[in-house]
Amino acid sequence: MTMTRRQLVASIPVAALAAGLPRGATAQDGRKVVTFWFGQANSDGQAALRNDLVEAFNASQDKYLLQLEVKGAAVNNLLKVALVAGNGPDIVQTAGPAYLTAIANAGQVLPLDDFAEKYKWKERFLAPLLNTSVYGGKLYALPRDYESMHLFYNKELFKQNGWKLPTNRKEMEEVADAALAKGIIPFGAGNADWKGVNEWLMTVFFNNVAGPDNVRKALAGELPWTAPPFVEAVELSKAWYNKGYFGKNYFSLTIEQSFLQVVNSKAAMAFSGTWSFGTKSYGMSKPDTVMDVAPTPTLGSAFSGSLVHLACGATLSIAKTSQNAEGAAAVFEFMLTRKFYETMNRDWPGKWALPVKDLPPEMLSGIGYPLFEKTIANLHEAFSKGQYGFTTWTFWPGATNSYLIEGIEQVWLNKITPDAYLTRMQTLFSQEAREGKVPPLPPRTA
């Protein structure tokens, strides 16, 4: 059949589109391609992804070929657009349940219940984390990791100054005041490269001042965000900011710069998450590290002791339009193997701590990272027992969470009052609750 010039010209865009569509593609060796987009990853992380996930999975079987693309910080936006256009990757990774809610409600990802039954995922994952991805009784994602805010501190600095690890607000403020008096920043903190640091801090203030039970009630719509425990939490955060507990340069320092202040004894402590274990420049994996870590202590009267915060830093789903859902599920199952769990956590600690019962934290012993190993063990235990607070990036709906991050700067910089901040938060939360945008809460007990 001959082709006219017009037909030839018309076929060019079609051919170009076809060439750019990896979906449902078959590799040269006959394997079906599974596509996976990843967000930000430093060079160590990219190497770990390539070696421990892509190459290891592709070598482990001969039916599927995993293809991974690192898309950068804008991956969440790209993903939404691609899913609406029906041209996203097979494996849909989101930045947590708060991001998953809109995608799952829109039916852009497949229910995983059949795969969950086949691979026994519901029996294997820790229930509190798995339940963050259940909508209308259907499972739409697997949690990729568990995270929590912790109190990181320079144990050598504490020892030199005779400070004890604080167990409540009074002791915390005593250490902070003593540090300030010596010209040491009480808490290394900075949000110049990531405004989300605001919510890391507010997760601690809301949960550790108001208490996790009150936070749960508010998330369930049983207590307004304007209630006195939350006012106290926001006022304390403002008081600490204004006293200089977070240093003079909170808005100028990057996350790494501020954490290194603690490592270099210029700051005493830092409220940060378990992801900090993955940054090699902090040197926390070394046997002679000056750093130590503990769950965050109570900062109010709602509870005593300390608290970890339930967080799922990323979820894994399968696109509704995936041509290779079986292959995507096979990749998930590969991630649950002991070998992957050990190698990934050794090479990129904190990013892929799968909350799976048959991958207990003891398996990580011997990877040469005592602080990480003990933290994951504590988290595993706390989440198993149902003793946890709630992180904003996992349980707050999108607009409310965005305001939580942006608005608290107005409070700290005296542009609005804590009452005005919480009133606005309540307004947004009520609206999103009506629209079904609040991520699901886990059951009270595991």
Partner 1 sequence: MWLFALPALLINICIILVPAVLTFTAAFFIWDGVGTPVWAGLANFQNMVADPVFWSALTNNFIWTAIFLTVPVCLALVMAAALLMAPKARIVVQSIIFLPRIIAVAVTGRIFQGMIFSPATGIVAWLNEHGFSISDPLADPDRSLYAVAAVDIWHWWGFLAVVFLSAMRQISVDQIEAARLDGAGFFALFRYVLIPGIRPTLTLMLILTVIWSFQVFEFIFIITRGGPAYGSEVLATFAYRHAFFEGDVGQAAAAACVMSLFGLCATAVYLWLQITDDAQST
Point out which residues bind partner 1 (CB under 8 A): 76-77, 80-81, 83-84, 102-103, 105-106, 108, 192, 195, 248-253, 257, 398-399, 402-403, 406, 409-410, 412-413, 415, 437
CB of 191 to partner 1, least distance (A): 8
CB of 15 to partner 1, least distance (A): 19
In order, the DSSP letters of 211-245 are -HHHHHHHHTTSS-TTSHHHHHHHHHHHHHHHTTT
Q: Identity (one letter) of the amino acid at 224?
A: P
CA 357 – CA 365 distance, rounded (Å): 16
CB of 138 to partner 1, least distance (A): 16
Cβ proximity to partner 1, 40 vs 77, nearer residue: 77
Cβ proximity to partner 1, 133 vs 345, nearer residue: 133
Q: Cα-flanking dihedrals φ and ψ of residue 57, to 5°?
A: -65, -45
Tell me the three-class secondary structure of 262-314, residue by residue.
HHCCCEEEEEEEHHHHHCHHHCCCCCCCCEEEEEEECCCCCCCCEECEEECCC
Q: Give the chain's count of helices (H) and strands (E).
A: 20, 14
Cβ proximity to partner 1, 199 vs 373, nearer residue: 199
For the chain, the first-to-last Cα distance in angstroms comes to 67
CB of 417 to partner 1, least distance (A): 13
Based on its alpha-carbon atoms, the radius of gyration of the chain, rounded to whole angstroms, reads 23
CB of 144 to partner 1, least distance (A): 20
- Helix extents (H) in 94-143: 97-105, 113-119, 121-124, 127-130
Cβ proximity to partner 1, 60 vs 321, nearer residue: 321
CB of 286 to partner 1, least distance (A): 24
CB of 120 to partner 1, least distance (A): 30
Q: Identity (one letter) of the amino acid at 313?
A: G
Cβ proximity to partner 1, 6 vs 164, nearer residue: 6
* Residue 183, Cβ density class (10 Å: 0-12 exposed, 13-18 middle, ≥19 buried): exposed
Q: Cα-flanking dihedrals φ and ψ of residue 182, to 5°?
A: -95, 5
Residues pairing with 109 in the sheet? 319
Cβ proximity to partner 1, 258 vs 272, nearer residue: 258
Cβ proximity to partner 1, 101 vs 276, nearer residue: 101
